[in-house]
Structure 1
Amino acid sequence: MMPTVFPALFAANLELVHQRLLQLRWVMLLAALLLIVLGQLAGLVLPLVLLGQAWLTLALLNLATPWLAAQGWQARSLISLGLLADMVVLTEMLAFTGGAANPLASLYLPPVLFGALLLPPARAWALAIISLMAYGLLFVWHLPWPLAGSDAAYAFQLHLVGMWITFAVSVTLLTGFVSYLAWQLSQREAALAAAREAQLRDEQLVALGVQAAGAAHTLSTPLNTLTLLCDDMLASYTTPPALIEDLQLMHSQLAVCRDALARLKAGAESRPAPQPLCEALDERLQGWYSSRPDVKLLRHGLLQGGPMVAFDPRFWPAFFNLLNNAAEAGGGEVELTVASSAGWLTLQIHNRRGSLSDAQLARAGLAPLDSNKPAGLGLGVMLSHVTLSHLGGELNLDNDPQGGVCATLRLPLDTP
């Protein structure tokens, strides 16, 4: 399963993995150079010209790889070429230093494992077969073991040291590289989990939008009927004066409902002309006041003027959801603090009653919760959270140590 799973999982990061392999190849080239020097000091008679040719071949390929990438070679093709070159050069060096008797022959394993992790099955198996053939060839085609003299005990000791070096190099390579790939896998899994959560949330919103469209179609007729009845009663001379004020309030509430349904059925409002920030807020809050005459709103911070802005129409439902939540949780009193700085709008909506549990704070905006008044956290907060995220903003909810809940809304201002 490994040859098929890892290439798919790391397809998006193959370029980064390829860069890591280039760096690792330079490390291995330096290690080979060090081993040649140590071999000379240990009394080995090495064919330096032949070994130097193999070393330079791999070094030149590593230098040429960025040029090949600039010519349009894909990362997977460059990885395949590099691993194949590693095997060819390793075979040359082993053939010049004793062949299969050289304890460093086990270094065939890391390239084979990297190929199994990073390449498609066909290339991975081709690389494995090439390594088997190359290792078998070393039994019949190689130069003698490069040890001066005939000290068998010394030769055996060198062989044991070589085995330990091979084991150490293999363990380091395999542990380091596989750990790196496992870390990449965990990062990708975390990103996939976040994407699945976002998709589930969007699916919930789509389902909610379908239901809302059906409700808008169903409610339009009763609202028109109630508006006509209200108009008739206001125009009638027989209506008691004590009911006139209530009928006028009912008429304004019905107008708000009709406007909301008209926007919902239209799908989206056109973007308004730019206007000062506080003027845009005042204009929209007037309509909100008419639907919530029982709420006392206290304004702080920026009260007049402000930068010229053109709010996205999706912002207002998210904003009023939070205001309504705070009004219901705060017993009819809400504090709104407005600030604008460096192209960002900051709104703090504060109610002075109730608090949110740790579980509610952790899930706030991520999923619909049962609204437990006076906390007042439910579907509206999730809708506001998603909308503000789509607009490039953010929403944070915190308990106030002095009591109540503070919703902090930050939104980049779309200035003309």
Structure 2
Amino acid sequence: MLAQLFSSSSRLVADLPDAVRLIARLRWLMLAAGGLLLLLCALSGLALPWLLLLQALATLALFNGVLSQRLRQGSPALPLLRLGLLADLLALTECMAFSGGAANPLASLYLPPVLFAALLSPGLFAWGLSLLSMLAYAALFGWHLPWPLQGSDAAYAFSLHLVGMWLTFALSALLITSFVSWLARQLAAREAALAAARETQLRDEQLLAVGMQAAGAAHSLSTPINTLTLLVEDMLLQHAADQPLREDLQLMQAQLGSCAQALARLKQGIQPQGAAIALFATLAQQLSGWRSLRPDVRLDWQAPAGADPQVRLDAAFWPAFFNLINNAAEAGGGELTVTASLLDGQLQLDIINREGCLSAQQLQRAGLAPLDSDKPAGMGLGVMLSHATLARLGGTLTLDNRAEGGVHACVRLPLPQEE
């Protein structure tokens, strides 16, 4: 417990240089406030050791400038933070010693440096700075220049002390509010990043489990598909004269071929993107092939007019795209619309089906976990897999319910164009 108490490795702020820069800006603000206060005291006719006070403020300003310059040059932030807080403590002690000592109401300004040390450098340094501030405050009871009274007027001195107390409170509130607000934003950003990392890790674990199951399924299905392919070929030879049966067998052979190709791609893994392709023509060709496998679905394909851009499209995009197409076709009553456009190097695909809708819970967690599927054999993995693939390629997937019915899936994917 004692070792944890004095440890300096558990500070709340991960980005310490930003904190040091913020404290440097607050220090400039305090120096400006100190200069304004000296000007008001001079206009009030107080006889203070102006040169000594100005020297203390000027020294702190010079030290703050040097610290800021060293931070910009890449020096470690933690030593600069500690040196700056020590300089704040010494400069404040010097100013108070020249203006009444412990009776000066500005003594409460010892608290902000101690707070910053406790938050940013907890452990031995924070405890040491706190002890040093207490010793400096105690020393001011005996070592200080007297506060100049105007005609030994006690009422005037008391009213001036009350004004100083208010000023001390205002400055302390400004410093603490500014820094703690910044710290709260940093902690909120860290929590959001941790939550996103946890969601990504959960999704990756689910994808790993799906990949392992897919590898096992590919190994198990290879033999039955090869056997069925051979049987279909034998039946084609045996029933060459039966034209209706022959057509059915040829369709079966094509479907088995598609299954064999899918398993081959699964075994070989996703290959890197190849040569440049004509974007919209390739999309139309792929959708035409998909139509032959899903003759029961009415697909409305809309591509923009004009030149067809040459792009490099990662092969991993196609499984994600067809997952969404299949989901839309099965959830939308066999009718869907696919619209493509390219704007500022970003491909946008709008996949719309005109029936059904997603619940608020499904929309909230779409892509982060398997969706509840209403299809008889649906596992709810299609959207999750598509979301993960598109995220890896730098794209996004959003799902929205249409006011007139149905679901709108929007895919955005950055695609650098070829010259």
TM-score (norm 2): 0.91
Task: Report the equivalent of 2:279.
Answer: 277
Post-superposition Cα deviations, 1:1-49, rounded to whole Å, max 9, x if no partner, equal 999799644122x222222211111111111112222223444321011
Structure 1 vs Structure 2 CA RMSD: 2.5
Q: Does 1:10 align with 2:13?
A: yes
Say if 1:361 and 1:178 are closer, same or farther in 2 by CA, change over 3 A.
Answer: same
Query: How far did 1:415 drift?
Result: 2.5
TM-score (norm 1): 0.91
Task: Report the equivalent of 1:267.
Answer: 269
SS in 1 for 2:149: coil
Q: Counterparts of 2:340 and 2:185 in 1: how far apart (Å)?
A: 43
**Counterpart pick for 1:113 among 112, 115, 121:** 115
Letter matched to residue 265 of structure 1: K
**Counterpart pick for 2:34 among 32, 35, 43:** 32
Task: Report the equivalent of 2:55.
Answer: 53
Say if 1:70 and 1:369 are closer, same or farther in 2 by CA, change over 3 A.
Answer: closer
Query: How far did 1:258 drift?
Result: 1.2
Query: How far did 1:397 drift?
Result: 2.2
Q: Counterparts of 1:403 and 1:344 in 2: how far apart (Å)?
A: 27
Task: Report the equivalent of 2:177.
Answer: 175
Letter matched to residue 11 of structure 1: A
Q: Counterparts of 2:373 and 2:93 in 1: how far apart (Å)?
A: 70
Say if 1:306 and 1:35 are closer, same or farther in 2 by CA, change over 3 A.
Answer: same
Q: Counterparts of 1:267 and 1:394 in 2: how far apart (Å)?
A: 23
Q: Counterparts of 1:193 and 1:138 in 2: how far apart (Å)?
A: 50
Instruction: List, as ranges, runs of 4+ consecutive aligned residues in structure 1 with deviation greater than 6 Å.
Output: 1-6
Contact 1:349 1:407 in 2 (8 A): yes
Letter matched to residue 352 of structure 1: R
Q: Counterparts of 2:200 and 2:8 in 1: how far apart (Å)?
A: 24
Say if 1:406 and 1:3 are closer, same or farther in 2 by CA, change over 3 A.
Answer: farther
Once the two structures are overlaid, the 10-residue window that deviates more, 342-351 or 257-266, is 342-351
Task: Report the equivalent of 1:89.
Answer: 91
Query: How far did 1:184 drift?
Result: 2.0
Contact 1:398 1:405 in 2 (8 A): yes
Q: Counterparts of 1:2 and 1:114 in 2: how far apart (Å)?
A: 17
Query: How far did 1:205 drift?
Result: 1.1
**Alignment gaps of 5+ in structure 1:** none
Task: Report the equivalent of 2:366.
Answer: 364
Task: Report the equivalent of 1:72.
Answer: 74
Query: How far did 1:305 drift?
Result: 6.0
Query: How far did 1:344 drift?
Result: 2.1
User: Where in structure 2 are the equivalents of 1:156-171 lying within 5 Å?
Assistant: 156-171=158-173
Contact 1:115 1:127 in 2 (8 A): yes
SS in 1 for 2:348: strand
Query: How far did 1:110 drift?
Result: 0.8
Once the two structures are overlaid, the 10-residue window that deviates more, 360-369 or 198-207, is 360-369
Contact 2:339 2:349 in 1 (8 A): yes
Once the two structures are overlaid, the 10-residue window that deviates more, 279-288 or 296-305, is 296-305
Letter matched to residue 254 of structure 1: L
Say if 1:127 and 1:307 are closer, same or farther in 2 by CA, change over 3 A.
Answer: same
Q: Counterparts of 1:187 and 1:290 in 2: how far apart (Å)?
A: 49
Letter matched to residue 165 of structure 2: M
Post-superposition Cα deviations, 1:67-106, rounded to whole Å, max 9, x if no partner, equal 2224432222222111110001001111111222222112
Query: How far did 1:336 drift?
Result: 1.9
Task: Report the equivalent of 2:194.
Answer: 192
Letter matched to residue 166 of structure 2: W
User: Where in structure 2 are the equivalents of 1:218-367 lying within 5 Å?
Assistant: 218-237=220-239, 240-302=242-304, 306-367=308-369
Q: Counterparts of 2:109 and 2:193 in 1: how far apart (Å)?
A: 35
Q: How many residues align?
A: 414
Query: How far did 1:236 drift?
Result: 2.2
Q: Counterparts of 1:384 and 1:286 in 2: how far apart (Å)?
A: 21
Post-superposition Cα deviations, 1:361-384, rounded to whole Å, max 9, x if no partner, equal 33332321211259x893211211
Contact 2:21 2:68 in 1 (8 A): no
Task: Report the equivalent of 2:404.
Answer: 402
Q: Counterparts of 1:191 and 1:3 in 2: how far apart (Å)?
A: 28
Q: Counterparts of 1:299 and 1:153 in 2: how far apart (Å)?
A: 88
SS in 1 for 2:404: coil
Task: Report the equivalent of 1:20.
Answer: 22
Task: Report the equivalent of 2:148.
Answer: 146
Q: Counterparts of 1:120 and 1:233 in 2: how far apart (Å)?
A: 81
SS in 2 for 1:355: coil
SS in 2 for 1:154: helix
Query: How far did 1:60 drift?
Result: 0.8
Contact 1:277 1:308 in 2 (8 A): yes
User: Where in structure 2 are the equivalents of 1:383-398 lying within 5 Å?
Assistant: 383-398=385-400
Query: How far did 1:179 drift?
Result: 2.4
SS in 1 for 2:351: strand
**Alignment gaps of 5+ in structure 2:** none
Say if 1:334 and 1:377 are closer, same or farther in 2 by CA, change over 3 A.
Answer: farther
Query: How far did 1:355 drift?
Result: 2.4
Say if 1:208 and 1:128 are closer, same or farther in 2 by CA, change over 3 A.
Answer: same
Q: Counterparts of 2:165 and 2:113 in 1: how far apart (Å)?
A: 18
Contact 2:24 2:68 in 1 (8 A): no
Task: Report the equivalent of 2:382.
Answer: 380
Query: How far did 1:185 drift?
Result: 1.3
Task: Report the equivalent of 1:128.
Answer: 130
Contact 1:273 1:310 in 2 (8 A): yes
